[in-house]
């Protein structure tokens, strides 16, 4: 052992003991978004209260000032535990713990344990006990991002190490054994563990002779509750806190240890664009003026070219309402699902030129056939705008979002194919399952999803059918500059490009002339889809433009979701569960549909996001699949090519005998009485006793002007309204 001791040098102090917080950067890789974990502030032993020194000694090493750097009995326990497969860290003195934190690593191996022992002996000879205790208290991790006692005092009790009281110090010292577990605000077994550990520390101080029994008795069983200040700091910025919380969740999903996140000195490079984030927040704030305070909006923007989430608006202020409506809240998506139904139909050979009746209400069976009311295995469906007798192709059906087309279409495409197409595109399987696949309502968006989910699916539609896993973290680098995680930006083709071309073509019609005209952008083509649910419980608009031009093209896909939700109340006299409210009679709107406020928010935001950029054009439709006639449009009357009109002979009347007057038959004189009998409205027949009153001017009105529909010519706008005057509904 003597040779091993002599050959074991004292290594350099780990640089991570001085700077261990995780730094998060914006998309430029330079601007700091925030710091996760509290940066350590070194303080001297004289800047620490005697209470914390006594409490830590009572918790970790009561014989510290009267023993060697290592504990012989502790070594024995460590050897036995190691050989038996148990804990290799048992029996450590404060000196050993300090050496492990400052000079070595956290590996739980037999070799590392013995290296710890040899280095501890040497450190014990090089430094005084006060120096070791001071360095130990400055390097120890207390959880919740608190590295060192000064940070712990700030995080847990919003004070300084020199001002910690006896009970506060005892609670912090108790937490050293299992950082984050012991919490005075917990309940059940965890609270019992906390109280027991806290009491044990106080009892240890009494036994050490540094705390009178009577004083300890005052504190027993009453650990002071934490006043935790989140170590993840966004500088108080209301929107930054949403971004930082998403980063924390992402790191956790990557299985990166919490201790490493808070103490490993990591650098996290994100895709968050601060400019887009600010634009989204500003537009939502402006558009929500006058709306009820329980109005929720979630906005997500993804670059379809690489899958990076560029911006996400999750709420007004994370510090006041820590609910992220972009990443975690869900609501039914309504007709937002229809592009995936259409894609499945085209894949099944039903082309976008196929014709279907948009008449409603109708009863539909699971084969997609219109059947008599109350037929077995059938249900009734209608269009939100009422009945229409139109027979339309699938482009028009998408533009106007006809439910009475999309339910039969979904069944004819087979719900299993619709489900798989949507899942392949990135919509969550569990959310789709909640939408009751196999029912007609599945094709109308019964599924509830997050804005992030819907944006992911639409990104696949924008990216020519290629799915890329959406991500907001580009890479994570450790304190030694080693890349420990890097996101992939290559994708997988999940929907055929010709199918996507047809879907994009139909989605352009939504914005050009359908329910989503409020999303039109000057100078840019737009494809999108509105979504509105039963009873106006939620409203959506998702859309995208073609990629920008240039060497590094971008293609922003943005989803805007809106709903009203009253949060759950768990305390006080007025406890209640959370619940949705209708988007009706609010903010000057009788009701809010996807083509209303969500489309307007999308328009305002994307107008700014694309300012100064040039986008290309969508490809023409491929017309994949066949033109299938599930309904036949009414025949359109045709006018035959007229034959040359002959010149009238003697005794012939031009208007009756279909001839043209000769040179001697001028139109100035009154027509023949025979003519006036058949054409009494001709003014030239005045005085013949056959003239009727002057025609009503509306007789010359055309349907497109907003006149009442001619019963003999069905299909005109209802109730005397023209196309532009109708509310945009699903």
Over the range 480-500, which residues count as b (16 or more CB within 10 Å of their CB) and which as e? eeeeebebeeebeebbbebbb
Partners of residue 476 on adjacent β-strands: 268, 485
Instruction: Catalytic residue, from 60, 116, 241, 396: name it.
Output: 60
- Pairing between β-strand 22-25 and β-strand 267-270 as defined by DSSP bridges: parallel
- 427 phi/psi in degrees, rounded to 5: -75, 135
Reading the block at residue 387, the tokens are 């009945």
CA-wise closest residue to 168 among 203, 231, 219, 210: 219
Q: Tell me the HSE value of 273 on the side-chain side, using a 13 A CA sphere.
A: 15
Measured between alpha carbons, how far is 451 from 508 in angstroms, rounded to an integer?
Answer: 21
Q: In sequence order, which residues have a C-beta less than 8 Å from that of residue 435 and are 6 or more positions away?
A: 337, 441, 442, 445, 446, 447, 448
Measured between alpha carbons, how far is 212 from 533 in angstroms, rounded to an integer?
Answer: 68
Evaluated on CA atoms 375, 378, 382, 387, the torsion sign reads negative
- Percent of the chain as helix, strand, coil, to the nearest 5: 40, 15, 45
Instruction: Catalytic residue, from 27, 92, 233, 335: name it.
Output: 335
Measured between alpha carbons, how far is 389 from 632 in angstroms, rounded to an integer?
Answer: 11
Q: What is the DSSP string of 133-186?
A: HHHHHHH-B-STTBBSHHHHHHHHHSS-GGG--HHHHHHHHHHTSSTTT--TT-
Between the CA of residue 379 and those of 336, 341, 434, 594, what are the distances in Å?
Answer: 21, 19, 19, 25
Partners of residue 38 on adjacent β-strands: 146
Helix (H) or strand (E) holding 403: helix 403-413
Q: In sequence order, which residues have a C-beta less than 8 Å from that of residue 141 and are 6 or more positions away?
A: 101, 147, 179, 259, 262, 263
60 as an active site residue: the answer is: yes
Show which residues are catalytic.
Answer: 60, 335
């Amino acid at each position: 052992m003597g040779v091993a001791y002599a050959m074991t040098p004292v290594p350099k102090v780990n640089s991570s003991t001085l700077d261990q917080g995780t730094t998060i950067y914006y998309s430029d890789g330079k601007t700091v978004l925030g710091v996760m974990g509290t940066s350590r502030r070194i303080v001297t032993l004289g800047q620490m209260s005697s209470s914390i020194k006594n409490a830590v000694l009572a918790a970790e090493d009561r014989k510290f000032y009267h023993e060697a750097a290592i504990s012989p009995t502790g070594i024995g326990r460590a050897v036995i535990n190691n050989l038996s497969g148990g804990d290799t860290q048992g029996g450590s003195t404060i000196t050993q713990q300090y050496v492990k934190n400052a000079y070595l690593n956290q590996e739980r191996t037999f070799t590392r344990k013995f290296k710890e022992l040899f280095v501890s002996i040497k450190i014990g000879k090089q430094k005084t006990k006060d120096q070791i205790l001071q360095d130990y208290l400055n390097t120890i991790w207390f959880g919740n991002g608190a590295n060192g006692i000064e940070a712990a005092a700030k995080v847990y009790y919003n004070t300084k190490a020199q001002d910690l009281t006896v009970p506060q110090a005892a609670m912090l010292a108790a937490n050293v054994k299992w950082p984050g577990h012991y919490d005075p605000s917990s309940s059940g077994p965890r609270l019992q563990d906390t109280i027991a550990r806290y009491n044990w520390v106080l009892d240890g101080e009494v036994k050490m002779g540094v705390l009178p029994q009577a004083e300890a008795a005052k504190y027993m069983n009453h650990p002071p509750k934490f006043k935790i200040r989140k170590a993840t700091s966004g500088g108080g910025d209301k929107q930054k806190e949403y971004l930082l919380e998403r980063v924390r969740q992402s790191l956790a999903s990557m299985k990166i240890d919490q201790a490493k996140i808070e103490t490993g000195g990591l650098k996290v490079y994100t895709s968050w664009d601060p400019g887009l984030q600010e634009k989204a927040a500003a537009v939502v704030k402006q558009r929500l003026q006058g709306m009820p305070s329980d109005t929720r909006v979630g906005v997500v923007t993804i670059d379809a070219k690489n899958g990076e989430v560029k911006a996400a608006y999750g709420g007004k202020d994370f510090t006041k309402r820590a609910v992220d409506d972009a990443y975690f809240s869900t609501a039914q998506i309504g007709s937002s699902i229809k592009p995936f139904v259409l894609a499945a139909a085209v894949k099944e050979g039903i082309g976008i030129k196929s014709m279907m009746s948009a008449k409603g209400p109708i009863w539909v069976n699971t084969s997609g056939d219109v059947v008599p009311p109350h037929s077995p295995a059938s249900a009734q469906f209608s269009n939100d705008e009422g009945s229409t007798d139109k027979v339309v192709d699938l482009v028009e059906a998408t533009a106007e979002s006809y439910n009475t087309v999309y339910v039969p279409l979904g069944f004819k495409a087979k719900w299993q194919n619709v489900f798989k197409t949507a899942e392949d595109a990135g919509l969550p399987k569990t959310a789709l399952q909640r939408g009751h696949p196999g029912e007609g309502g599945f094709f109308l968006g019964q599924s509830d999803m997050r804005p992030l989910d819907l944006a992911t699916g639409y990104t696949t539609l924008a990216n020519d059918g290629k799915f890329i896993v959406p991500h907001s973290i580009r890479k994570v680098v450790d304190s030694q500059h080693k890349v420990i995680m890097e996101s992939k930006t290559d994708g997988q083709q999940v929907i055929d490009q010709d199918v996507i071309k047809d879907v994009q073509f139909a989605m352009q019609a939504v914005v050009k002339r359908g329910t989503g005209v409020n999303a039109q952008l000057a100078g840019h083509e737009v494809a999108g889809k509105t979504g509105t649910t039963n009873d106006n419980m939620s409203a959506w608009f998702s859309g995208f433009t073609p990629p920008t031009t240039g060497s590094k093209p971008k293609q922003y896909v943005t989803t805007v979701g809106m709903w009203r939700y009253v949060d759950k109340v768990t305390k006080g006299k007025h406890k209640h569960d959370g619940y949705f409210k209708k988007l009706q009679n609010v903010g000057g709107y009788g009701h809010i549909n996807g083509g209303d406020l969500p489309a307007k928010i999308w328009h305002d935001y994307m107008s700014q996001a694309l300012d100064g950029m040039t986008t290309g054009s969508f490809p023409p439709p491929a017309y994949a699949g066949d033109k299938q006639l599930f309904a036949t449009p009414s025949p359109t009357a045709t006018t035959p090519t007229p034959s040359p009109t002959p010149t009238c002979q003697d005794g012939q009347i031009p208007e009756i005998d279909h001839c043209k007057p000769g040179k001697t038959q001028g139109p100035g004189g009154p027509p023949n009485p025979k003519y006036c009998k058949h054409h009494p409205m001709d003014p030239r027949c005045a005085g013949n006793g056959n003239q009727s009153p002057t025609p009503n001017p509306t007789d010359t009105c055309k349907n497109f002007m907003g006149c009442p529909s001619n019963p003999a010519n069905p299909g005109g706008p209802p109730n005397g309204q023209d196309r532009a005057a109708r509310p945009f509904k699903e």
